[in-house]
Structure 1
Amino acid sequence: MSTRKDIILTQLRSCRDQDGWFAPLSVALRGLTAEQAAKNVGQSTNSIFGIVHHLVFWNERYLQRFKDSSLPPLKISNVETFVKDPGEIVERWDDLYQRLDNLFVQWEEAIIKCDDAKLDSRTHPDRDESWWTSLAHLAIHNAHHIGQIVHIRKEQGLWETWFE
């Protein structure tokens, strides 16, 4: 019988690097150059770089809250977490992808170490949401954006059929 921790760990691992029903991040970003990651396919579409930055922002923020229980108030809007102008993209791309991969590893370690009481506890004093529910949503959020990355790669002609 699977426990809640097993389910969350399976979801997070599927998002990071395990084969499943969708391409994990390791496959979705495989072979992608910094310039390709920074390219926008349309005015209303975020770049892959922007999406990865968004995932780093939210995974980092929630992991800090999970570990420390407190965070400073959010000072930017969700839209601002999708970087539009990555600046020195070549220098930042490998670091950004590595940060996200490292966050997935840290999440896995934190979930393994936590007890059921932590999963049942509230994510924030002002919210009526347990960590169990919030982590399920975080995994869905990650999977959603990984799907967007795959879609953008297909639009750019950068998705090889051997990925599928």
Structure 2
Amino acid sequence: LAVSLEDHLTERLKSLPALLPADLARQLTESLDFASAKLQEGGTPTVSYDLLSSVSKWSRTDAGRAALRSQEPPMEVHDYDMISLLAGTRTSPDRKFPIYVPESDVREEERLRAINDRKTITTLLNAVLSVGGAGFAAWYAAGQVRWRDEWRALLGMAVAAIVAIAEGILYVLWDSRR
């Protein structure tokens, strides 16, 4: 498992090789040198999770605590807990981190088109229901005042036509602003 070697982690680990046991110090120095070279090449510097785990385990031993506290100023033991070491890093099962590929523009355009289509369908459905509802309301109201059926139908059709024209104008304005 590879862990990205961020700046704060590099600074924290650079001061350790003099304090670590020889084998662990050698591994850490090699890893930091390799990461430095990789950074100069433009790649993502990494360090192995196992190495960080070994450093964390060492910092919890009596010898590790004593070595960290013997420094001037004393180094904080909790700075080398795994949770502290991994803060702000990324992990990858491969030695190389995959290149970040943002969501394609085609997918984004399709998503936006689908949203716009739904808005258009909703707007048109709203217009149809408004026209029908206004026409029915006028027809029903005319019946309540005891108009003859032909006048009720004529009033309902006139109100529906007026609302349809208004909805058409509103749709044209809405569509031109999209």
Q: Of Structure 1 and Structure 2, which has the larger fraction of its residues in helix?
A: 2
Q: TM-score w.r.t. structure 1 length?
A: 0.30
Q: Of Structure 1 and Structure 2, which has the larger fraction of its residues in strand?
A: 2
| Structure possessing the higher relative contact order (Cα contacts under 8 Å, 6 or more residues apart) | 1
